[in-house]
Amino acid sequence: MNFQGQKVLVTGGSRGIGKAVSMAFARAGAAVAIVYRHDRAAADAALAELPGQGHVALAFDVADPAAAEKGVERALAALGGIDILVNNAGIGIYHRLAEVSYREWQDAWRQTIATNLLGPANLCYLVARHMIAAGGGRIVNVSSRGAFRGEPLKPAYGASKAALNSLSQSLAVALAPHGIFVAAVAPGFVNTELVADHLNGPEGEEIRGQSPFNRVAEPEEVAHAVLFLASKGAEFSSGAIIDVNGASYLRS
């Protein structure tokens, strides 16, 4: 896939899936803006690894509407436009209903929805308004297998990703007349540092066994799906949600 000359904004782009997505776009010729929240060292390290030129790292919290607005303005100025938006940043807070306090329950829901749903919604708005004026673009949202099978240990996470799927499909219809194509990928477990303790612990064998491949996805496999959806020729996949879970969960 060739993205020569394209300008891409990737939230959560300094680690895990986001880093793999940033790297894949850069290798395909795009200029990438990596968005990170607070880990400057990780962002600088990721930025240094990107091949090509014109890349930038921007610090802002996607859950903060004002910060997101300023961050998009900075990205537009640094890149000279945004052709592709990848909403990858997300959080998952464990909050077992039978174990947490009511305050903890509310906090988990507020933080999760702000980051996983309202943040992407605001970025979609801000970037799509630019894309409308520019004549089109691509938006890919990173969802989760948990949107379909549920997340009993972190229900706010599953609910936020289910809502993100709905948002993606709503915008696919709303923005198609403007030449903007919107889709999502829904990974299962992915081999990143965020889940390393689970994969290396007692539950690792069970997690890998959820897939008939007896392993979890690599970040590059998720990135491959993102690039497909953002590529020329994938326009009629607008509104699609691509599962990247190694057949660990099959939905009709």
Of the candidates 154, 157, 160, 238, the residue annotated as catalytic is 157
Answer yes or no: is pLDDT of 195 > 90: no
- DSSP string spanning 182-230? EEEEEE-SB-SGGGHHHHHSTTHHHHHHTSTTSS-B-HHHHHHHHHHHH
- Is it the case that residue 132 has pLDDT exceeding 90? yes
Contact present, 33 and 9 (Cβ < 8 Å): yes
pLDDT at 193 over 90: no
CATH 3.40.50.720 fits 7-244, yes or no: yes
pLDDT at residue number 252: 85
Average pLDDT over residues 33-37: 97
249 is catalytic: no
CA 51 to chain centre: 21
Of residues 161, 168, 238, 248, which has the active-site annotation? 161
Task: For the chain, give the mean pLDDT.
Answer: 97
Instruction: State the helix-helix crossing angle for 16-27 and 40-49, rounded to 10 degrees.
Output: 30
Based on the residue annotation, tell me whether 154 is a catalytic residue of this protein.
no
Domain boundaries, given as residue ranges, for the chain: 7-244
Pairing state of beta strands 241-244 and 31-36?
A: unpaired
Question: Has 7 been annotated as catalytic?
Answer: no
Strand, helix or coil for residue 43: helix
